[in-house]
Amino acid sequence: MLATTGLNRQSHDNRGPGGGSDRKNALGKMAASAFMSAGKNDNESDSEEESGNILDQRRINEIFVRLKVAEISSLNFAILGILCGIFDYEISYNDGSDEEKTFRIILECFCVFSTICIYIALIVRYTLVLTLQKSKGFYSKYDTLMNTGLYKYFFTEIVINSITPFPFIWDTTYSEKYSDYDTKVRYRVNDVFLLVMCLCRTYLIIRAILTLSNFMNTRSQRVCNMSGTTANFMFSVKSLMKKKPYSVLLTSLVVSVGLFGFVLRIFERPLSEASGQDFNSINNAFWVTLITMTTVGYGDFFPKSNIGRFIGILIAFWGVAFVSLFVVTLTNLLLFENGEEKSYILLQRLKSKDALKKEAVNVITAAYKKRRAAPGDISAIRNFRGYLLKFQAISRSIRGNYENETDADRIKRDLEDLREDIDFIKENLFQICKSIGIEEKDLIE
């Protein structure tokens, strides 16, 4: 019984003030440990998410680097095929020896080899594009080239790049008759293939240059995504035209004149003797291309063959686009930048204020002369009205300059005027106080 009483007393003592505080401390420690464990879990989840984002971004960067390698490979093999086709044409036109014919076949084999390498580069490129879109979350891991629609672009590029000079038709020709010159000309089939290859494979060169620019890398893609746009090829073209317009125009002009001049010469050269226009010289072909692009057309040289006229139409349309780009570039050159426009507006305002002060003096002088003039003196009245109209016109122009101001500019201008007034008051404080009857000693007190 005594033991039971002791236990009850002990339990009663634990429920007392001291026991309650121990219990509160224990509950506080439990809550603090739970809060710390929850914060630790949150930090661990945030760090895991951040590390996951870093790993994803590293994977995207690696894929994009491989994509650039594929584009560079396509660029190199496209240039290789075009150069081999050009050398093959120059050798075939002169009808060289058997050794040269063998060399021609070797060059055409290199054209086919470059085409196969372009196929491989395109396969790798589209695979990397699909993987890149999956890494960004645009496609799921079950998507393929077929269900995403990328196969359409892939097969289109395969067909475009399949046209190349072939070695097994190295001596196949066709003829065209021109009644205007009473002559018949034979062309090689591989020359037509060379024309198509030179015109079509240039897109590989353009795409590689745009991909390698700073406006299509992973950083540009992230920035454009934050701005709600896409760092695609059109964005890269606009950015390059904004950053380096003269370099883009000069490069486009040189490449266009060289490419179109060469393919035009292929089909106009056999008619040089019959037409009396010497297209054996590549300079004349370049001259025709340049004059056609600038929409001048002197008429001393012009295309006469059927395919040559088709090339001339392409040159004319491309020339219109090139001249438009040139005009836009010159227009942007003459536009003010933000700082230049603000400086120009400020200078105009200062000039108008100086003119307003001058006209104000003239108005006051004319008013004084009008008052002192005789009652019938009309010239004084005419001078006063003339100066007054000029004063009003300058005042309206000054108000017009301020109409284009934003609210922030207007507030800034008002604050500057207020600061000038305060500085003026500080400098002339004693004279102002003296004029209103306040003594200097009272002001100091």
Q: How far apart are alpha carbons 277 and 298 in whole angstroms? A: 14
Place of tokens 């945030």: 46
Q: Do 200 and 163 contact (CB within 8 A), yes or no?
A: yes
pLDDT in tens, the chain (445 residues): 334 444 344 444 444 444 455 555 555 555 555 545 545 454 545 554 555 566 678 888 899 999 999 999 999 999 999 999 999 898 888 766 667 788 888 999 999 999 999 999 999 999 999 999 888 888 888 899 999 999 999 999 999 999 999 988 878 888 888 888 888 888 989 999 999 999 999 999 999 999 999 898 888 888 888 888 888 899 999 899 888 899 999 999 999 999 999 999 999 998 888 888 888 889 999 999 999 998 887 888 889 899 999 999 999 999 999 999 999 888 888 888 878 877 887 788 788 878 888 888 888 888 877 777 777 778 877 888 888 888 888 887 777 666 666 667 667 767 776 777 677 677 666 665 665 555 555 555 5
Measured distance between the N- and C-terminal CA atoms of the chain, rounded to whole angstroms: 92
Among 161, 191, 189, which residue's Cα sits nearest to residue 174? 189
Q: How far apart are alpha carbons 192 and 256 in whole angstroms? A: 19
Q: How far apart are alpha carbons 27 and 399 in whole angstroms? A: 73
Q: Dihedral angle at the C-alpha atoms of 367, 373, 374, 377, nearest 10 degrees?
A: -70
C-alpha triplet 369, 372, 373: angle, nearest 5°: 80
In this structure, which CATH number among 3.40.50.720, 1.10.3860.10, 1.10.287.70, 1.10.10.10 belongs to the domain 239-335? 1.10.287.70
298: which residues sit within 8 A by CB, 6+ positions away?
291
Q: How far apart are alpha carbons 395 and 399 in whole angstroms? A: 6
Q: What are the CA-CA distances from residue 109 to residues 105, 106, 194, 223 (Å)?
A: 6, 5, 13, 45
Q: Do 202 and 75 contact (CB within 8 A), yes or no?
A: no
Q: How far apart are alpha carbons 74 and 237 in whole angstroms? A: 20
pTM, whole model, 2 decimals? 0.70
Dump the DSSP string for 113-145: HHHHHHHHHHHHHHHHHHHHHHHHTSS-TT--H
DSSP 8-state code for residue 184: E
Tokens coding 207? 């795409």
Backbone torsions φ then ψ of 188, nearest 5 degrees: -80, 145
Q: How far apart are alpha carbons 88 and 104 in whole angstroms? A: 5
